[in-house]
Structure 1
Amino acid sequence: MLTVEGATVRYGRFEALAGVQWSVGTGESTVTALLGPSGCGKSTLLRAVAGLEPLAAGSICWDGVDLATTAPHRRDFGVVFQDGQLFPGRTVAQNIAYGLARRRVRGRAAADRVAEMLRLVQLDGFGDRPVSALSGGQAQRVALARAL
């Protein structure tokens, strides 16, 4: 379970998050939507959970373990922002396989996982396509597949 207790994020004197309390996830397949108006701190909260923003106060715990000293690449959280953040010089499959390669998953295992993710996001057959040839919605699905 993810537990956020009193999370505060500041940018100079501006307090982007102030004492946020939140917990989510009790099962392996939990899906949660974080909704709110523009500028309310949704992205800041997600960035803090992923370790991309430091907390000025409070804590973020995963299964009871405080993540304060856990590096972002060790937290195992994926964040998909609105613009997708795809690598423009790579194909769809290469973008999805990026995280797998960083974890030393290669060859048939990586190819099978990429194919599985393409099916999941309904982009079968798009693996060899350059990301520059995708629509906005397709690019978001590629970013989601990479995060998963």
Structure 2
Amino acid sequence: MSPFLRLDGLVKRFDTTLAVDGVTLTLERGEILALLGPSGSGKTTTLRLLAGFETPDAGQVVVDGEDVTRTDPVARRFGMVFQHYALFPHLDAGENVGFGLESLGVRGKELDRRVSRALALVDLAGFE
């Protein structure tokens, strides 16, 4: 069985600056990953490559067995929260988590269930 997500040898340069140097990793469905490192180490660029906001100079992004390296961001269905604890600081944690789901048409009890489950995964149950 193949992993849900595979980044295989991702490389990204901006002019003469090597921003991402051969990042390779795999994640199974349901796993959570945190990218940690100092400023300028390629964390945000790696996430932008995964989401499709940047195109790698080399390597592949494979999701659920499909190469999405050249696929539009909207078709990848990945969300990205930029370097702040909340996408929208005026919303509570549950509303922030639910924002992407709502944009995909998830509503009502299903939205509540999925938001609660996601918050529980990161020990934020009760912040909905």
Which category of TM-score, normalised to the shorter sequence, fits these structures? 0.7 to 0.9
Q: Does 1:8 align with 2:8?
A: no
Taking the aligned partners of 1:65 and 1:77, their CA distance within structure 2 comes to 14
Deviation at 1:60?
A: 1.9
Aligned residues: percent identity? Answer: 39
Equivalent pair of 1:5/1:59 in contact (CA under 8 Å): yes
Structure 1 counterpart of 2:106:
105
Taking the aligned partners of 1:89 and 1:56, their CA distance within structure 2 comes to 37
- Deviations 1:14-51, CA, capped at 9 Å, x for gaps: 22123x151313x4344445454443223322221121
Tell me which amino acid in the other structure corresponds to 1:74: A
Gaps of 5+ in 2: none
Partner SS for 2:95: helix
Tell me which amino acid in the other structure corresponds to 1:120: L
Residues 121 and 6 from structure 1, CA distance in 2 versus in 1: closer, same or farther, beyond 3 angstroms? closer
Q: As a proportion of its length, which structure holds more helix?
A: 1
Equivalent pair of 2:11/2:23 in contact (CA under 8 Å): no
Residues 68 and 96 from structure 1, CA distance in 2 versus in 1: closer, same or farther, beyond 3 angstroms? same
Taking the aligned partners of 1:112 and 1:63, their CA distance within structure 2 comes to 24
Using structure 1 for the length normalisation, give the TM-score: 0.65
Using structure 2 for the length normalisation, give the TM-score: 0.72
Larger radius of gyration: 1
In angstroms, what is the RMSD of aligned CA positions?
2.7
Answer with 80-89 or 9-18: which moved more.
80-89
Answer with 103-112 or 43-52: which moved more.
43-52
Residues 6 and 126 from structure 1, CA distance in 2 versus in 1: closer, same or farther, beyond 3 angstroms? closer
What is the aligned length?
125
Deviation at 1:102?
A: 1.0
1:90-129 correspondence runs (5 A)? 90-127=91-128
Q: Does 1:68 align with 2:81?
A: no
